[in-house]
Amino acid sequence: MYRYRIRLLFALLCIIAFCSAVQATNLLITVQDSVDNATVPHATVYLDGANVGLTNNGGQFLLQSGQGDLNLLITMAGYDDWEGTVSGNTTSLSVTLNRRTLFLNVSLFDSNSLAPVSGATLFLTSANSSQTETSDTSGAAAFGVTSFTLYSLNITAQNYQPRSETIEVDANNQNVQYWMLSQNQYSFVVKDRNSQAAVGGASISVNSVLLGTTDTRGILIAPISRNTPITVEVEKTGYQTVNQVLTVSTNEAVDTVVLTPVPISGFVFVYDQQNQPISGADISLNGTVVANTTSYGRAMLQNLVPGNYSLVVEKTGYTPVSQQIDIANDSSEFPVVLSLATATQTLFVQDSDQKNIAGATVLLNGDVAGTTDSHGQLDMQLTYNTPYNITVTQDGYLPQSVQQKIPLGNTTTPLTITLEKNMDWGVVTLIGIGILVVLFLYAIIRLAGRRNRHHAIKRNEI
């Protein structure tokens, strides 16, 4: 009986599993683009809020749906989300995703002055639409566009050459900027060949007629003839002159001219405060040591280009000097005066028993430099190569003086001064007076003794 029940239960379980398998349904989802009906690969499929997978390269996804209605959400970058409920018995589903509306922001600038171009007409077209906008005072215009769409943009503006561009919008808002070429202006941009820095003040002549000089940006904007050969000459002190022949077309707006610097030299003279030359000083330009001074305090700066430099002069035992210099030609000279640096001299004051003396007064060349601390120590700043008379005084001690001079560049070692205790003349005087009194009393006693003996002798004689 028991075995019969086990078999019956097993049969029922098999029937239930078979029925469930029969009821399970596979749902094939195909995702398409609303514009060209192309399938959309890698779209994300959500079932009841859970991510269940991505469409394959053919834009399809196979979902085992099971029983009941299916709450589906399908998303893809650049498209609006699709959301819907599908019966559990459905075996195929075609989903069309609408391309998302985005913004295309266009900015226009003058290629010469770099200023915004306002009032320009912008005509934007695609296979299914066309729009027209006018640039505002900031040179900007905005269009509503569709993702994954190819657009043609035509730009026209007064006194500027027309411009046409092709723009492929992706899944995000897009920002583009264009330089408008003037119909009657041309820009010369002058740069340094080595540093690529702008060269201001460069003279530009066309067909031997001076047009002007470049500004601080290295730019000169001037009218020139197009589609006609012209001779351009660019000059700047400290640079090699550039001559070139150009034929500027209607589509060209900028000519970049690179000037090669002509090497020049300069001189640095280094002295101390007594106007004596300092030899062996390091001369640095823009952080690099380029020379050392000779015995005459002179250093030559070679193979330089005209311009501003950061000059640093250093010598052991002296305070470094930094300054900005402008090297314009081979006759540029720069005198530098170095002051002696200082070193910390530690002084210890003690008595003859090697005990620290606190509160001792320290004088440098007669001027008070400070007092010793509880450890009998005082740190002083002494100038290199300068003689000092160091005097230490303290009540109850005899003053003590030493001579000190720190050679250039040497490190200092602690200096110890020992004070001898001062004799207390008041005590000595009292002691002396006491001794004299004792001697005086002793003399009186001796004298009195002698008199007594003399009288006794006389009585005996009688």
Q: Name the CA radius of gyration of the chain, rounded.
A: 51
CATH fold group of domain 2-97:
Immunoglobulin-like (2.60.40)
| Mean of pLDDT values over 53-72 | 86
Strand partners, 192: 259
Tell me the whole-structure pTM to 2 decimals.
Answer: 0.43
Domains of the chain, by residue range, sit at 2-97, 101-180, 186-258, 264-337, 342-419
Mean pLDDT of the chain: 86
The confidence score (pLDDT) of residue 457 equals: 55
User: Is pLDDT at 20 greater than 50 in this prediction?
Assistant: no
Neighbours of 119 (CB within 10 A): 12
User: Is pLDDT at 311 greater than 90 in this prediction?
Assistant: yes
% of the chain at pLDDT higher than 90:
56
Of the candidates 337, 338, 321, the residue with the CA atom closest to the CA atom of residue 284: 321
% of the chain at pLDDT higher than 70:
89
Range in 14-28, 173-187, 370-384 with the lowest mean pLDDT: 14-28
Of the candidates 351, 419, 417, the residue with the CA atom closest to the CA atom of residue 389: 417
Please give the CATH number for the structural domain made up of 342-419.
2.60.40.1120
Distances (CA, A) of 184 to 119, 127, 246, 249, 253: 18, 35, 16, 11, 9
Of the candidates 265, 211, 207, the residue with the CA atom closest to the CA atom of residue 238: 265
The confidence score (pLDDT) of residue 333 equals: 87
Q: Which residue has the higher pLDDT, 17 or 359?
A: 359
The confidence score (pLDDT) of residue 30 equals: 95
The confidence score (pLDDT) of residue 123 equals: 96
- Give the DSSP letter string of 303-326: EE-SEEEEEEEE-TTB--EEEEEE
Give the SS3 label for residue 18.
Answer: helix
Range in 165-179, 316-330, 365-379 with the lowest mean pLDDT: 316-330
Please give the CATH number for the structural domain made up of 101-180.
2.60.40.10
Q: Which residue has the higher pLDDT, 391 or 185?
A: 391
The confidence score (pLDDT) of residue 66 equals: 64
The confidence score (pLDDT) of residue 422 equals: 80
User: Is pLDDT at 114 greater than 90 in this prediction?
Assistant: no
Please give the CATH number for the structural domain made up of 186-258.
2.60.40.1120
How many Cα atoms occupy the beta-carbon half-sphere of 101 within 13 Å?
A: 4
Amino acid identity of residue 81, one-letter, is D
Long-range interactions of 227-232: CB distance < 8 A, separation 24+:
230/206, 231/206, 231/207, 232/188, 232/204, 232/205, 232/206, 232/257
The confidence score (pLDDT) of residue 17 equals: 47
pLDDT in tens, 78-107: 899 999 998 888 888 999 999 999 999 999
Q: Is there a shared CATH topology between the 101-180 domain and the 186-258 domain?
A: yes
CATH fold group of domain 264-337:
Immunoglobulin-like (2.60.40)
